[in-house]
Structure 1
């Protein structure tokens, strides 16, 4: 049961993320209406720049949901940003450590509570010259196979340049939200082969939405 205090914190989190995201980006997005208004949801996206989580957050909040991102642990030590991440219930990931799997457990707990979890399957910023996603890790697929009741919603982002170039000025980000990814073929499986195959399907869906976001970008 959500307490009055938690309601206040949730409302403050919505307002704070909305303001910060609006300051950072001119967000334009299209959606297939695939983000349910209630229940567990997994949002997966490509990761061009350190600020694009704010654009994804803006889209999620536009669906009247609040995102809980898996974010690298270092973010939680950044001045201001770390405090925002902690206050809004984001999930730290200790990359390259034996405890990194704990982040998936925390994300699983969020989903069990009917919340929305957002993550980047690449596990890092996109570095490919064509700005398309590179090799992905299997964490998103493992989480999805653990929670078959949670739709996996792919988001494609286009517009922001790679890396940190857009940190200090406002820019346009175009995002396309696609229909849920069908992972039914691997339902109930937790083996490496299933996780890898599901990851490939997830990444293909993200690339489809990137193509839509590119069309939005050129037509803006």
Structure 2
């Protein structure tokens, strides 16, 4: 059970994320599926900018859930941001190192406690010319196979843009939250082939939600 101090930190995190998301973006979201109010949840999304985790976090908070993101290790060294990330249980990822797998173990611990874990399967910002997700890593799939009790909720984001212009102008961020990905064909499997197949299914679900988010953005 969370301690009173952790409840206080989470409450501060809720307030700060909500405010910061409003500064970075005009957040609009639509829920096509359902994010459970309790129990373990895995949220997966495409990654357009360094600030879109704030928009995804606002969506989670809009469902009365506090997100625990897998974030690059460097974020934890940023003044202020790093302290808040550590205090609210965000998960550092040492990308490209042998210890990167430890982040999945920590994420697994959060799921075992009934938390919501959010991550970007690409493991980096989208670099494709059409801004659609590129090749994905299998981390999210391996986490999902390890925790079949945790629904995998795809989120498609459209609107925010990376670059210096983004620093000075608030972009509208449209997000579509889809229904849980059906992983029943891989029940009981944790092998590498299953991880690759689940990754493909997860990315297809994200792309479906991006299409909805694009429509939201064009008709906003």
TM-score of the aligned structures, taking structure 1 as reference length = 0.97
Structure 2 residue 129 is matched with structure 1 residue 101: no
What's the counterpart of residue 174 of structure 1?
Answer: 174
Cα–Cα, structure 1 residues 9 and 16, in superposed 2: closer, same or farther, change >3 Å? same
Cα–Cα, structure 1 residues 141 and 214, in superposed 2: closer, same or farther, change >3 Å? same
State the SS of the aligned residue for 2:167. coil
What's the counterpart of residue 79 of structure 1?
Answer: 79
Residue ranges of structure 2 left out of the alignment (5+ in a row): none
Q: Larger deviation: 146-155 or 157-166?
A: 157-166
Q: Where do residues 1-220 of structure 1 align in structure 2 (5 Å cutoff)?
A: 1-162=1-162, 165-220=165-220
Q: Please state how far the C-alpha of 1:163 moved relative to its aligned partner.
A: 5.1
Cα–Cα, structure 1 residues 123 and 165, in superposed 2: closer, same or farther, change >3 Å? farther
What is the RMSD computed on CA atoms of the aligned residues? 1.2
Residue ranges of structure 1 left out of the alignment (5+ in a row): none
Q: Larger deviation: 191-200 or 1-10?
A: 1-10
Q: Is 1:68–1:116's contact at 8 Å kept on the other side of the alignment? A: yes
Q: Larger deviation: 78-87 or 91-100?
A: 78-87
Q: Is 1:48–1:163's contact at 8 Å kept on the other side of the alignment? A: no
Q: How many residues align?
A: 220
Q: Please state how far the C-alpha of 1:189 moved relative to its aligned partner.
A: 1.1
Q: Larger deviation: 91-100 or 74-83?
A: 74-83
- The 1-side partners of 2:2 and 2:86 are apart by 18
Q: Is 1:126–1:162's contact at 8 Å kept on the other side of the alignment? A: no
